[in-house]
């Protein structure tokens, strides 16, 4: 007890919703490499979930978002990674502050590019936490 230096991390992922679609990108990061996922990142010390979602969406896509709200949380033990990863992931939902704004790929070392996909027509393979959520019947649309 207490000898395991590994600890679960907190991830925040954002459903940026536009009509029936969500913004998805192919990951180039080591965790979940080549799988499709939402914009998002690690919760920083002192941040609210809303602040983290807003910051990560801006850093990764250039988009400004509003109406940021909590939707669900998942516990993800990623065993297929080179070193096992454990994330508690907070899923937030938001909409574009300016519906005309176009996503940019601002971290091309981490993402192949951002595209809008309808929820019933998501690209494959999804990042495992998103796949699990999708398979559970969850929808980010109310
Ligand atoms: P940062 O250094 O900018 O803080 O982090 P990042 O490089 O942007 O982190 P990330 O891997 O994109 O996100 C952090 C973790 O959040 C990720 O490793 C696992 C968890 N996570 C999920 N589902 C999703 C998802 O759909 N998208 C993103 N981006 N992260 C997710 O469990
Ligand atoms: Mg990030
Ligand atoms: Mg990220």
Q: Give pLDDT tens digits along the chain (142 positions).
A: 666 778 999 999 999 999 999 999 999 999 999 999 999 999 999 999 999 999 999 999 999 999 999 999 999 999 888 889 999 999 999 999 999 999 999 999 999 999 999 999 999 999 999 999 999 999 999 7
Q: What are the structural domains of the chain?
A: 9-122 (3.90.79.10)
**Ligand 1: residues whose CB is within 6 Å?**
11, 13, 29, 31, 37-42, 56, 76, 87, 89, 110, 127, 129-130
Question: How many other β-carbons are positioned within 10 Å of the β-carbon of residue 129?
Answer: 23
Q: Which two tokens stand for residue 58?
A: 């801006």
pTM of the full structure: 0.96
- Prediction ipTM score: 0.97
């Amino acid at each position: 007890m207490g000898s395991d230096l590994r600890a679960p991390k907190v991830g925040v992922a954002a459903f940026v919703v536009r009509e029936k679609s969500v913004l998805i990108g192919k990951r180039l990061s080591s965790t979940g490499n080549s799988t499709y996922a939402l914009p998002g990142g690690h919760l920083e010390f002192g941040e609210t979930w809303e602040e983290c979602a807003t910051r990560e969406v801006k850093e990764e896509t250039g988009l400004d978002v509003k109406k940021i709200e909590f939707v669900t949380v998942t516990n993800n033990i990623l065993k297929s990674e080179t070193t096992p990863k454990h994330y508690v992931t907070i899923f937030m939902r938001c909409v574009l502050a300016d519906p005309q704004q176009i996503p940019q790929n601002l971290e091309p070392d981490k993402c192949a590019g951002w595209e809008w996909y309808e929820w019933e027509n998501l690209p494959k393979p999804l990042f495992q936490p998103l796949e699990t959520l999708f398979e559970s019947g969850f929808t980010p649309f109310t």
